[in-house]
Amino acid sequence: MGCGSGSCGTAKEGEEPAGCGSKGGCSTGGCNKNNVSDWLADMPLSFNENFNIVEVAFKNGSRKGFYRNTGNFDMHKGQLIVVEAAQGFDIGEVSIQGELVKVQMKKHKVTERDDTIRNILRIATEQDINTFLDGRNKENETMVRARAIAKTQNLQMKIGDVEYQGDGKKLTLYYTADDRVDFRELVKVFARDFKVKIEMRQIGARQEAARIGGMGTCGRELCCSTWLQDFKSVTTQAVRYQNLAINTEKMSGQCGRLKCCLNYELDTYNDALKKFPKNVEKIETEEGTATLRKTEILKKLMWFEYEGTHGNPIKIDVETVAELVWMNKQGKKPATLGNYNVVENVVIDESKHDDLVGQVSLSTLMEKDRKNRNKGRNNRGGQGNRDNRGGGRQEGGNQENKPAQENRNKPQGDRKPQGERNNQQGNRNNQQGGNRNKPQGDRNRPPQGDRNKPENKGPQAPPPNTDNQ
């Protein structure tokens, strides 16, 4: 969630906040927790012109209350105002006003004549806002110090959040504990250390998560910190009704309790389960006994499988199952469940979509990877061949290179045909291969009887023709 305009500006001195254009209040409900989109803000108060109750939110919506606008102040959503408190005054933000306040009061069972509704004193001045911001800025440091003090007292409690009153004369500490905690000595230490009035409030794990906030496994901000006001009990029965795997890690939220969203679709599943036949475990047929293996509640299908066969389930709709169960009660058996198998038509979306990755497919990536592997393999093979050739030159000495050099210096027209050159090359390779098995000292030595004969160095260049000279 975010601002509908893309940027919420800050207010200059003496001016209204710029940005979303809603006079300081974000119309999308995404600038703070528990914000409300006032969809009745433009509706005139035609039902009751004397209705002057406003809903005020404190500390980014973690706490809300109703207050009377007895001074008929001209206020808008998101404006800071000064309201009455039990002792002193507090500063809050206008959340909603108008007809939508009546809906919220009816939801929380608050009447217009309730004595607990306090009055709005004034619009917050610059001095009031500075005092309010000073308290907000030192809340984090105060919470760290309060946790350290509670640890020295050896109390089994966790301080999750602290809140200064608007006038800075009262500090409320919210804590969680499994058992009852005697914090009378702790309050004295807090009052002596922080020099303000101390109030301790015990909250549950869900209320703590709502005040702190966070991200859920769905990737969105926690429901309890954005729009969820009341916390209904969530049991494992809701998990079983929806055929979900009972996995504690996946079913638990940030608070360590079962997720509140397990109740969102519970009514839909309960309505669908009313159409399912009850106590159906097996169906008797002439082919054999079929056992229930799976139930798809929203599709209204039941999967059966014959005993002794695995991997061949039969899908039957709930109306047909009810008829088959009635036939079994009458002593009748159908021939086979295969006659009632439901075949689902799979719709393939053939519409073409633009490939945002630059028209790159998996086959293209695989082909590219294959070419890279082949290229690397060829490079390694070429390096090995070059090394072998270098070793042959070192062993053979300059004698094997002389014919090649002489042939290279021969004129183009005096070269022998390709076939003869290949035969001569093969003879040299055979000779070299035979000499490899000899000792190192005799490898390049000619035979004993032919030691005085000239060494055969391969084809020689023909003698120059002196007749033409």
Is residue 443 within 8 A of residue 436, CB to CB? The reply is: yes
Does this model's pTM top 0.85? My answer is no
Is residue 91 within 8 A of residue 85, CB to CB? The reply is: no
pLDDT of residue 142: 95
Is residue 174 within 8 A of residue 201, CB to CB? The reply is: yes
Vertex 36 angle, CA 30 and 41, to 5° = 120
* Residue that the structure tokens 């108008």 belong to: 98
CATH 3.30.300.20-classified regions of the chain: 134-210
Q: Within a 10 A sphere around the Cβ of 389, how many other Cβ atoms?
A: 9
CATH level 2 (architecture), domain 134-210: 2-Layer Sandwich (3.30)
DSSP 301-336: EEEEEETT--S--EEEEHHHHHHHHHHHHTT---S-
Task: Decide: helix, strand or coil at residue 129.
Answer: helix
pLDDT of residue 136: 93
Pairing of strands 89-97, 80-84: antiparallel
Q: Is the C-alpha dihedral spanning 86, 206, 135, 21 positive or negative? A: negative
Longest dimension (CA), the chain: 141
Residue type, 155: L
Is residue 112 within 8 A of residue 53, CB to CB? The reply is: yes
Task: Per residue of the chain (469 residues), give pLDDT as tens.
Answer: 444 444 444 444 445 444 444 444 454 444 455 556 666 656 655 445 668 899 999 988 888 999 999 998 988 888 999 999 999 999 999 988 888 898 889 988 899 888 889 999 999 999 999 999 999 999 999 999 999 999 999 999 999 999 999 999 999 999 999 888 888 999 999 999 999 999 999 999 999 998 888 899 899 999 988 888 788 889 988 998 898 888 888 899 989 999 999 999 999 999 999 989 988 889 999 988 999 988 999 999 999 998 878 778 899 999 999 999 999 999 899 988 888 888 777 666 666 555 555 555 666 667 777 777 777 777 666 555 555 554 444 444 444 444 444 444 444 544 545 555 555 555 555 454 444 444 444 444 554 544 444 444 444 545 555 444 3
Q: 457 — phi, psi (to 5°)?
A: -105, 25
pLDDT of residue 362: 64
pLDDT of residue 382: 57
Contacts 24+ apart (CB under 8 A), 32-35: 32/57, 32/60, 32/61, 33/60, 33/61, 33/62, 33/210, 33/213, 33/221, 33/225, 33/226, 34/60, 34/61, 34/62, 34/64, 34/225, 34/226, 34/227, 34/229, 35/61, 35/95, 35/226
- Pair of tokens at residue 310: 């695995």
Residue 432 exposure: Cα atoms within 13 Å on the Cβ side: 16
